[in-house]
Amino acid sequence: MTTDTAPAPLAEPVLEASGVVMRFGGLTAVNQVDLTVRQGEIVGLIGPNGAGKTTFFNCLTGLYVPTEGTVTYKGRVLPPKPHLVTEAGIARTFQNIRLFSNMTVLENVLVGRHTRTKEGLFSAILRGPGYRRAEQESRERAMELLEFCGLAAKSEHLARNLPYGEQRKLEIARALASEPGLLLLDEPTAGMNPQETRAAEELVFAIRDLGIAVLVIEHDMKFIFNLCDRTAVLVQGQKIVEGDRETVQNDERVVAAYLGEPLEGTTTATEADQ
């Protein structure tokens, strides 16, 4: 006698984007995009240049207020302010590195702790016991994150003096300092050599193992398909397919998009400007 095994229940959604639209004048950069990221998942977001991937990220993190649609984190609609999104539990890195180059590695991570420290202005001015205790706790946590990312030995180095791959790691450590439940990575391996890319992959897996969900934009297909549980594809602002590696790679629309063929029924940026 055979016994049917019930499928494992899906994890709780961390991020839910529903019908997200972002228009700039007559150009629709993101068009009715739905995306869900569940607890413990690594989800990829790919597409040709100009597909709207970073614009969509900006809608998720409060840099842009979507023209239409909603974005929720753990069931709550996100406020359209980046610092409030960070407080809610979403952190991100950027396509172009945005470190404080004249600050030390440790100081950069401490900046990321500001949303989790409760000491007010007067406490900071007076530097009382509560402030000193909070400062020490922040430094200890920052050093733990640098150790996690392999940068503890360079905590007192200026950020600008780090090799490129380590600057990328430092951005991730700073994002983790806000204790997110969801981490958004915008092209984390851009400009990296194969060894650095492999180290970045291992770091993202380690982050997932901490219980943090990850949403990642990347052009390196091998990196994405090795890393992600599933991948969504944006083309000309629309999500055309979402699924596992085989589903995405075998979709004719994805192949056409990467060969430069226009997606039927959409308007390109050039056409919109005419």
Q: What is the DSSP string of 215-230?
A: EEE-S-HHHHHHH-SE
pTM: 0.83
The values of phi and psi at residue 6, to 5°, are -70, 140
Nearest alpha-carbon partner for 165 in 118, 200, 132 = 200
Separation between Cα atoms, residue 41 and residue 211, nearest integer Å: 9
Per the structure block, which two tokens stand in for 162? 């780090």
- Residues above pLDDT 70, as percent of the chain: 84
Residue ranges of the chain assigned to CATH 3.40.50.300: 13-89+180-273
Pairing of strands 213-217, 230-235: unpaired
Asked if pLDDT for residue 134 goes beyond 70, the answer is no
Environment class of residue 179 by beta-carbon count within 10 Å: exposed (0-12), middle (13-18) or buried (19+)? middle
Amino acid at 253: R
* pLDDT at 76 > cutoff 80: yes
Give yes or no for residue 2 having a pLDDT over 50.
no
What is the predicted pLDDT for the residue at 138?
86
Q: Which residues pair with 77 in a beta bridge?
A: 72
The CA distances from residue 145 to 152, 208, 211, in Å, are: 8, 14, 15
**Backbone angles phi and psi of 39, in degrees to 5:** -55, 130
Residue 124 pLDDT greater than 60, yes or no: no
* Six-digit token string for 92: 């991100």
Tell me which amino acid residue 247 is.
T
- Which pLDDT does position 248 carry in this prediction? 92
Dihedral in degrees, nearest 10, Cα atoms 203, 204, 209, 210: 80
Options 3.40.50.300, 3.20.20.10, 3.40.50.10860, 3.20.20.70; CATH of 13-89+180-273: 3.40.50.300
pLDDT in tens, 172-231: 999 999 999 999 999 999 888 899 999 999 999 999 999 999 999 998 888 999 999 999
> Side chain identity at 28, as an amino acid letter?
T
Q: What rounded mean pLDDT belongs to the chain?
A: 86
Of the pLDDT bands very low, low, confident and very high (cuts 50, 70, 90), residue 121 is very low
Residue found by looking up tokens 């490129």 in the block:
164
Do 227 and 38 contact (CB within 8 A), yes or no?
A: no
Residues 177, 222: Cα–Cα separation, whole Å: 28
Alpha helical stretches, state H, the chain: 53-60, 82-88, 105-112, 121-126, 129-148, 164-176, 194-209, 221-227, 245-249, 252-258, 269-273
The phi and psi torsions of 256 (rounded to 5 degrees) equal -60, -40
What is the model's pLDDT at position 128? 57
Beta-carbon contacts of residue 177 (< 8 Å; ≥ 6 apart): 109, 110, 111, 112, 113, 116, 141, 142, 145
- With cut-offs at 50, 70 and 90, classify the pLDDT of residue 85: very high
Phi-psi region of 35 (alpha: psi -120 to 50; beta: other; left: phi over 0): beta
Q: What angle do CA 25, 30, 36 make, to 5 degrees?
A: 150
Question: Which residue did the predictor score with more confidence, 95 or 224?
Answer: 224
